[in-house]
Amino acid sequence: MNICPACETKNDPDEKYCLNCGQRLIESDDNTEILKDKLKIPKDKIILLDLNYTLISNSWSIRFEKLPGKINKRKYEHELVELIKDNYVILITASPYYTSFDSLKHIEENTDLKIAESYWNFNRSPPKLKRYWLEKAVLPTHGDDPSKYLAIESNNDTREMYAEFGIEARPKSDFI
């Protein structure tokens, strides 16, 4: 068993992410190339935004803090917020639903970002969870034209999942 250091949930040994809170359980070989010339974010895109390791700038340093107290220690990527605050933003996160109210309140109190919609974890790994919300909520509501969306996502497996739908998905380092 893999016990999550953040929420103490027991996970199968082969799980990369905690099924309860989305915490990375094993070290990742994220070989994402950092772009020197940063990309622009078109204002007409619907942003599919990742919370941990994307919007939260200090995810790594607070990763072993216990929920829900960890929420008040979060710091945000204000440069990223400036780039997307005029877009329609949908937060899709592996963080558990029971943290949603406090998390959204903390984001609102500490950034200029307005989250239009948010979708939370119910015991699935990040790629499976985000696929579920994409298929069950986002695409039925906003349409299946992939050119309407831009996913800003830390998890390479989730970026690959978005690509299966034709949705451009990039890490925050491509923009800031």
Q: Report the pLDDT value the prediction gives residue 98, as an integer from 0 to 100.
A: 93
Is the previous residue joined to 68 through a cis bond, with omega within 30 degrees of 0? yes
Q: Is residue 158 part of a domain?
A: yes
Q: Is residue 24 part of a domain?
A: no
Helices (H), 20-144: 78-84, 100-110, 126-133, 139-142
Separation between Cα atoms, residue 17 and residue 93, nearest integer Å: 12
**69 pLDDT higher than 70:** yes
Separation between Cα atoms, residue 16 and residue 24, nearest integer Å: 6
Read off the pLDDT of residues 41-60 as tens digits, 9 standing for 90 and up.
Answer: 999 999 999 999 999 999 98
Separation between Cα atoms, residue 123 and residue 140, nearest integer Å: 22
What's the total number of domains in the chain?
A: 1
**148 pLDDT higher than 80:** yes
Element holding 152 (H helix, E strand): strand 149-152
Q: Is residue 67 part of a domain?
A: yes
Q: Is residue 55 part of a domain?
A: yes
Q: Is residue 21 part of a domain?
A: no
DSSP letter (8 states) at residue 173: G
Q: Are 98 and 56 in contact (CB under 8 A)?
A: no
Separation between Cα atoms, residue 76 and residue 88, nearest integer Å: 18
Lowest mean pLDDT among 22-26, 112-116, 148-152: 22-26
Q: Report the pLDDT value the prediction gives residue 67, as an integer from 0 to 100.
A: 84
Read off the pLDDT of residues 19-32 as tens digits, 9 standing for 90 and up.
Answer: 777 777 776 555 55
- CATH number for the domain spanning 74: value is 3.40.50.1000
What region does 123 belong to: left with phi over 0, alpha with psi -120 to 50, or beta? left
Q: Is residue 154 part of a domain?
A: yes
CB within 8 Å of 74: residues ≥ 6 apart? 56, 58, 59, 62, 106, 110
Q: Is 150 helix (H, G, I), strand (E, B) or coil?
A: strand
Lowest mean pLDDT among 25-34, 104-113, 124-133: 25-34
Average pLDDT over residues 90-99: 95
Q: Report the pLDDT value the prediction gives residue 58, as an integer from 0 to 100.
A: 96
Q: Is residue 5 part of a domain?
A: no
Q: Which residue bears the tokens 């906003």?
A: 142
The length of the chain in residues reads 176
| Mean pLDDT, all residues of the chain | 92
Enclosing domain of residue 160: 38-174
Q: Is residue 54 part of a domain?
A: yes
Q: Take residue 66 and report the two structure tokens written for it.
A: 């216990």
